[in-house]
A and B are shown apart, each in its own frame.
Chain A
């Protein structure tokens, strides 16, 4: 999906001994949105915006180590050893050793001579990397100005973490003129370094530069056109996480040191094998307990009492992403955790006083098909006609933010209708649910509306699977958990006159490790292009029955 931006100049942070001026260059192609103010809560802002940066650059996907150099060396080693084995007679072995030492010396000399060259080359590549580092960022953060707060949103490179920093106007001392709306801001790696120089004793001016809009017709060379081709999976991931926010959640508060403790466990240990989940044990009236698999290590949170009504055990994966919160620990008053359920997105909201930082995590770090099936997040919540939807959204646009109840009473609609309409807009990236203040906010992710229909499903098989589920054509025949904790499912899916018999195995990390189906598509492709619609439907059906 192509995103085009135009910036006037670049975002710049000018920092001297006594003042800092942050001037963000907004996207000029969008409706004018600007804001200026003097920062009041400087350290909090510094740490929060740094955490947001951590989200932008976060990439915890598995990267295989580059072993070519080692393999070359090993091959050479092997060759030499075989020569030794082959040489039966002592004198030959002696000669081989002699040659080897000569060879070793030659290698040494070669590496000595090539050393400066290799070093210079490495430095050059490093320079190129540093110079072009901005290219590695996927999408510039989105900034939204609302009458009550300014907020930044971003999504990580690995399509797994979402960050939102909301700053209410109490954070700013002298708020100047502003225009509400949403825009993208030009963002670069050097900015992070400048953020680090924010201090309480430096007057810090924060502005989303309005001057760009005055000269937008001039079209000088100073304008920077940016075209970004975002993968569909990225956009889908973003929308899934943000629409997950509007779903009912299990929530509780954690003491800042509890988060410190969670990070502490993860910093001290590295898991060699699965399962790699973190289990929240929630019992009403009792401290929250967090258990780390596979060590079954328990962290008790005596100062965080679970206030919910029902006991629950929820597993979440991709736990190393919570390191993003580390910098917020000294400043946070508390962390509010929202969990949707096992294997579903989770949210951590740091309460920084007048600011709040929301970290949204998708179900897994790797959003590949072996854990697929999150398309339910994008399913329509309620049937609402187009006119009503429009009305609800226009009402929201008027006030920029509103709670569903307020909207319902103002428009004279039922709460369910309003929620359905807002859910649809959330899924389309045009609205967002603010977990912190529990209101819906109007926020257009992109200049042009996103093609929701093409984004909902990753492929036609997901769509077909959702139809099977809707028709009730899926039946789970057997469900069996073995000694290793692996779940085996057997079932049938009716399609017209035919009945297919899919079966699958899910390991303790909820990863689909084996799957079979009697359909033609599976016979042809096995799992090389992902599971077929029947396997997907069977898995979803099982998940639904558990809930």
Chain B
């Protein structure tokens, strides 16, 4: 029935929408003369399709065609288709700092006129203190007599201004007036301080010395002698002791010390200014010194204190009103969590606990620039000195991370990105460097200098000069050179180099030392500048080696490359200079070191010179510390490449020193020297090799194993245990390193290989404690240990490996089986079918592949022709191969069963046991085989056996055989009764099978009484169902039975029809 199914027509429909992608196949098949069925399959594309039947029993062609068309149409209606077809912000011009010039004379005249008027007792609108100050600023000599006259005419503030101005514009007469002011006991402290400064300014050297000597006498006795004669560090210690010992009165000594300002005092003072906290009691004195330094034009002290003001945090926030006179607002929170009430009173005390509020800080920071600005505006060359002083304290360490923020501009309704660069917050610093910058700008009422769009931090810097007062800098290029020499701050270097480039004449005259200094700076810009200067005057015929070396060691890669070329061009000349070579090879720059290595390894140096160099290099290496591992590595390489011959005979003590060095690179050099040393490994003490193998550094371990490998074979074979232990070592580099040694020994000594492989097989059967060991060992067995163990291995070994817990062992097992089986068919046949089945279910692909090979080798075992007695039993066992849980294995065996076996190899028993599988695809394959190799005489057996299968698909399949092998035989009907009951008892399933069974039973019941009895038994039981269709069919069949054989017991009760009448 099924065996001659002919496919007449097939439609494949597909449906795709969203993630849904499904197929629907409709078949029209011919199963007999004018008997057709319509089957269908459906499901997701790529998955196993579910099967269904539209025709319960075969129907004539026309009817089948209609069913077929209806089905295709209904699916097409559902949507199935047949398978066949920035606007850049406008750059504003850089803001120019316009010096408020004006008519100098007119201003001087006005000042003088006001002073005269005041001296005569007049009272103008212009506050006199300001006029006095201005006179000093303008340096009006004519004003001095008037000023002296005005002393004492107002309060202390006026006296302060007069003293200040006199220091700037006064002459000898002023000295006596100031002296009076200084010595007068009625003079307030702050006036006396400025008077002292003015006196210092106006005096000649002798007077100044005398004045200072007098002040030293006024020092407390513990400082006096030390301040006079030093030494400086003793004084510093004494000063610290003195300050720590007393209250705020003691700190006043700092003012005095700055007046003295001699060689003994200044270092202590500078150190103190660098480190002292900007807090009481230091702060007040630091402020005094700041003003004094400004007055004295002491750039160093001035710059240092200005820098401190930039960096030091304010003690309290004075931006609101902590110093307000109103009691309840005037408080300050102190660092220890306390609050200080009445702060406005406190801050006025000499012993004030508070100082340096945020407003003070802001004022002082602005003042630092204001002073510079005024100097610059006047075109005073002092500007450069002071600016250098302000710039020098800044270093690269003061750079902060660039910041950015975005804010919505309410007018343009656009988001604005604001960037701040690394030094954005420093006030005077930015003014000096970037007052005319096209990239940085300061907006009013903001704290920091921001980037001017489109510039962002990290962009290329503009070629134009950016600093304030460029002409002043050009006038004093020494200031720039000073910055180049001493500043450790990148933007300052960039500025200085850019400005220096504009001073052509000055640069051309720079001497050799200056060039060496410039080349030695660690900034690329600077080094490149130095290189360009030097290149202009480089004479190839007679090169200045020291400068060439400086270029080769400079921070600019281009310059270094050029220097390398210079050296290369005249290498003979340089190769004679040992110092030069050493400095080149020990350069801080990797490219220069590499160049030196090339140079040294490609040229011959006389042995004696080479030995000296080796000694110097080794001394250099021994001195290197942990942070310079790279240099050590390069130097070691240079040594190995260039001085191999000298190293071969290096003293053993030196090598041991190298091996004991803390740097791994140096140790490695020691190890490498051992490798090429004229003393052969066999003569070395074994401890050295072992300690190298046990080193925590991977390269050293490798060297250890290499040294071990260079031992003569006999010695190594004697150390078999060590080699085996290394092969199973937990560190993978050791395992890898020892592999070539094992390979060499194994190829030379088969016994050794065999012994080792037995041990490794043992290892593979134990758990892998460190992970990876099994893999290495398996690799050794496979690739290095030769054929010996492979040929020795029996099936038991192979199976043990293939079923081992570790994947590496399984793969090795698979490999072993595959290899042996291909080479030796007899060996392959030693595996039983059960063993092949187990291998075919292996977790590892290689093992499964091996099972497939074994099966192919043992094919004859399953063929009737080759093994007439045993093939059935073997085949019965082989059927389980099809049941493997791996897709690839099943696919292989499906194909193998299809191609290698014929009808004579399959008995019905075998085919049925294929169908017995619980896997649907195997069942399907089984049905395919049954259909293909169907033997008419065994049809009954197929039917009976398959009918016991629990799956619904097989039960449906069996319905195909009912007509032919069950019809007309009451006994067989009886045998099949479980099948009938089972099909009919399926709950809400198997519609087609049920319908076929009932119609078959109904037909059978008519044939004989015996058959009718069996059918009656089945139907009597099943008729109790509440499924209407089935119940009706069952009752109908039972009625037919009753009609034919009224005596058969059936649960049928004929009820008289109810008669209903209308009332």
Q: Is the CB of A16 within 8 A of B913?
A: yes
**How far apart are B863's CB and chain A's nearest CB, in angstroms?**
17
Q: A498 contacts which chain B residues (CB < 8 A)?
A: none
Q: B918 contacts which chain A residues (CB < 8 A)?
A: 193, 196-197
Q: Is A258 an interface residue (CB 8 A)?
A: yes
| Given contacts A267-B988, A330-B982, A43 and B876 within 8 Å (CB-CB) | no
Q: B984 contacts which chain A residues (CB < 8 A)?
A: 330
Q: Is A256 an interface residue (CB 8 A)?
A: yes
- Count of A-B residue pairs with CB < 8 Å: 78
Q: B22 contacts which chain A residues (CB < 8 A)?
A: none
Q: Is the CB of B945 within 8 A of A17?
A: no
Q: Is B879 an interface residue (CB 8 A)?
A: yes
State in angstroms the CA–CA spacing of A260 and B912 once bound together: 30
Q: Is B1024 an interface residue (CB 8 A)?
A: yes
Q: A196 contacts which chain B residues (CB < 8 A)?
A: 916, 918, 950
**How far apart are B1055's CB and chain A's nearest CB, in angstroms?**
13
State in angstroms the CA–CA spacing of A17 and B981 once bound together: 25
B1024 touches which of A193, A197, A258, A331 (Cβ 8 Å): A258
Query: Which residues between 107 and 123 of chain A lie within 8 Å of chain B, taking CB atoms?
Result: none
**How far apart are A278's CB and chain B's nearest CB, in angstroms?**
15
Contact code string A194-210 (vs B, CB < 8 Å = 1, else 0): 00110111000000000
Q: A330 contacts which chain B residues (CB < 8 A)?
A: 978, 981-982, 984-985
Q: B1021 contacts which chain A residues (CB < 8 A)?
A: 256-257
Query: Closest chain B residue to A46 by CB distance?
Result: B950
Q: A302 contacts which chain B residues (CB < 8 A)?
A: 1024
Q: Is A416 an interface residue (CB 8 A)?
A: no
Q: Is the CB of B985 within 8 A of A256?
A: yes
Q: Is A303 an interface residue (CB 8 A)?
A: yes
| Given contacts A199-B916, A257-B1025, A267 and B876 within 8 Å (CB-CB) | no
Q: Is the CB of A260 within 8 A of B876?
A: no
Q: B1025 contacts which chain A residues (CB < 8 A)?
A: 257, 260-261, 264
Q: Is the CB of A299 within 8 A of B950?
A: no
State in angstroms the CA–CA spacing of A330 and B1026 once bound together: 16
Query: Which residues between 7 and 63 of chain A lie within 8 Å of chain B, taking CB atoms?
Result: 15-18, 43, 46-47, 50
A200 touches which of B948, B950, B988, B1023 (Cβ 8 Å): B948
Q: Is B895 an interface residue (CB 8 A)?
A: no
Q: Is the CB of B910 within 8 A of A261?
A: no
**How far apart are B985's CB and chain A's nearest CB, in angstroms?**
4
Q: B917 contacts which chain A residues (CB < 8 A)?
A: 197
Query: Which residues between 816 and 845 of chain B lie within 8 Å of chain A, taking CB atoms?
Result: none
State in angstroms the CA–CA spacing of A46 and B982 once bound together: 13
Query: Closest chain B residue to A304 by CB distance?
Result: B1024
Q: B877 contacts which chain A residues (CB < 8 A)?
A: 16
Q: Which interface class (under 10, 10 to 19, 20 to 34, 35 or more) fits A?
A: 20 to 34
Query: Which residues between 241 and 288 of chain A lie within 8 Å of chain B, taking CB atoms?
Result: 255-258, 260-261, 263-265, 267-268
Q: Is the CB of B988 within 8 A of A329?
A: no
Query: Closest chain A residue to B951 by CB distance?
Result: A196
Q: Is the CB of A18 within 8 A of B950?
A: no
Q: Is the CB of B985 within 8 A of A199?
A: no
State in angstroms the CA–CA spacing of A47 and B982 once bound together: 11
Q: Is A326 an interface residue (CB 8 A)?
A: yes
Query: Closest chain A residue to B979 by CB distance?
Result: A330
**How far apart are B781's CB and chain A's nearest CB, in angstroms?**
23
Q: Is the CB of A264 within 8 A of B916?
A: no
Which of B875, B879, B988 has the most chain A CB within a 10 Å cutoff? B988
State in angstroms the CA–CA spacing of A448 and B877 once bound together: 43
A264 touches which of B876, B945, B981, B1027 (Cβ 8 Å): B1027
State in angstroms the CA–CA spacing of A18 and B1024 once bound together: 37
Q: Is B987 an interface residue (CB 8 A)?
A: yes
Q: B1022 contacts which chain A residues (CB < 8 A)?
A: 257
Query: Which residues between 1012 and 1030 of chain B lie within 8 Å of chain A, taking CB atoms?
Result: 1021-1027
Q: Is B909 an interface residue (CB 8 A)?
A: yes
State in angstroms the CA–CA spacing of A302 and B1055 once bound together: 15
State in angstroms the CA–CA spacing of A26 and B790 once bound together: 40
Q: B910 contacts which chain A residues (CB < 8 A)?
A: 17
Q: Is the CB of A261 within 8 A of B1026?
A: yes
State in angstroms the CA–CA spacing of A199 and B944 once bound together: 11
Query: Which residues between 177 and 204 of chain A lie within 8 Å of chain B, taking CB atoms?
Result: 193, 196-197, 199-201
Q: Is the CB of A263 within 8 A of B913?
A: no
Query: Closest chain B residue to A301 by CB distance?
Result: B1024
Q: Is the CB of B1024 within 8 A of A303?
A: yes
**How far apart are B86's CB and chain A's nearest CB, in angstroms?**
18
Q: Is the CB of B982 within 8 A of A263?
A: no
Contact code string B973-1011 (vs A, CB < 8 Å = 1, else 0): 000001001101101100000000000000000000000
| Given contacts A257-B1021, A261-B1026, A330-B978, A16 and B876 within 8 Å (CB-CB) | yes
| Given contacts A257-B1022, A261-B1024, A264-B1027, A18 and B985 within 8 Å (CB-CB) | no
Q: Is B712 an interface residue (CB 8 A)?
A: no
**How far apart are B581's CB and chain A's nearest CB, in angstroms?**
57
State in angstroms the CA–CA spacing of A130 and B919 once bound together: 14
Q: Is the CB of A303 within 8 A of B1026?
A: no
**How far apart are B874's CB and chain A's nearest CB, in angstroms?**
10
Q: Is B1051 an interface residue (CB 8 A)?
A: yes
Q: Is the CB of B985 within 8 A of A299?
A: no
Q: Is the CB of B909 within 8 A of A18?
A: yes
A201 touches which of B880, B945, B987, B1023 (Cβ 8 Å): B945
**How far apart are B734's CB and chain A's nearest CB, in angstroms?**
30
Q: Is the CB of B913 within 8 A of A299?
A: no
Query: Closest chain B residue to A268 by CB distance?
Result: B988
Contact code string A313-334 (vs B, CB < 8 Å = 1, else 0): 0000000000000110111000
Query: Closest chain B residue to A200 by CB distance?
Result: B948
State in angstroms the CA–CA spacing of A289 and B876 once bound together: 51
**How far apart are B972's CB and chain A's nearest CB, in angstroms?**
14
Q: A18 contacts which chain B residues (CB < 8 A)?
A: 876, 909
Query: Closest chain B residue to A255 by CB distance?
Result: B1024
**How far apart are A496's CB and chain B's nearest CB, in angstroms?**
55
Query: Closest chain A residue to B886 by CB distance?
Result: A127
State in angstroms the CA–CA spacing of A30 and B879 once bound together: 38
**How far apart are A42's CB and chain B's nearest CB, in angstroms?**
9
Query: Closest chain A residue to B983 by CB distance?
Result: A330
**How far apart are A46's CB and chain B's nearest CB, in angstroms?**
7
Q: Is the CB of B945 within 8 A of A260?
A: no
Q: A264 contacts which chain B residues (CB < 8 A)?
A: 987-988, 1025-1027
Q: B944 contacts which chain A residues (CB < 8 A)?
A: 201
A260 touches which of B875, B916, B985, B1051 (Cβ 8 Å): B985
Q: B885 contacts which chain A residues (CB < 8 A)?
A: 130
Q: B880 contacts which chain A residues (CB < 8 A)?
A: 15-16
**How far apart are B897's CB and chain A's nearest CB, in angstroms?**
14
Query: Closest chain A residue to B833 by CB distance?
Result: A16
Q: Is the CB of B945 within 8 A of A267?
A: no
**How far apart are B804's CB and chain A's nearest CB, in angstroms?**
12
Q: Is the CB of B1024 within 8 A of A17?
A: no
Which of B909, B950, B978, B1027 has the most chain A CB within a 10 Å cutoff? B950
State in angstroms the CA–CA spacing of A47 and B1024 once bound together: 22
State in angstroms the CA–CA spacing of A263 and B987 once bound together: 7
| Given contacts A17-B876, A17-B909, A268-B988, A199 and B948 within 8 Å (CB-CB) | yes
State in angstroms the CA–CA spacing of A40 and B109 once bound together: 137
Q: A261 contacts which chain B residues (CB < 8 A)?
A: 1024-1026
Query: Closest chain B residue to A333 by CB distance?
Result: B1021
Q: B875 contacts which chain A residues (CB < 8 A)?
A: 17
Q: B978 contacts which chain A residues (CB < 8 A)?
A: 43, 330-331
Q: B916 contacts which chain A residues (CB < 8 A)?
A: 15, 196-197, 199
The 10 closest A-B pairs by CB, nearest first: A17-B876, A257-B1024, A267-B988, A17-B913, A330-B982, A330-B981, A330-B985, A329-B985, A263-B987, A261-B1026
Apart from A17-B913, A197-B918, A264-B987, what 12 extra A-B contacts exist at CB < 8 Å?
A17-B875, A43-B978, A196-B916, A201-B945, A256-B1021, A257-B1021, A257-B1024, A260-B1025, A261-B1026, A263-B987, A264-B988, A331-B978
A-B contact pairs, 14 of them (CB 8 A): A16-B877, A16-B913, A17-B875, A17-B879, A18-B876, A18-B909, A50-B950, A130-B885, A196-B918, A256-B1021, A257-B1022, A258-B1024, A261-B1026, A329-B985
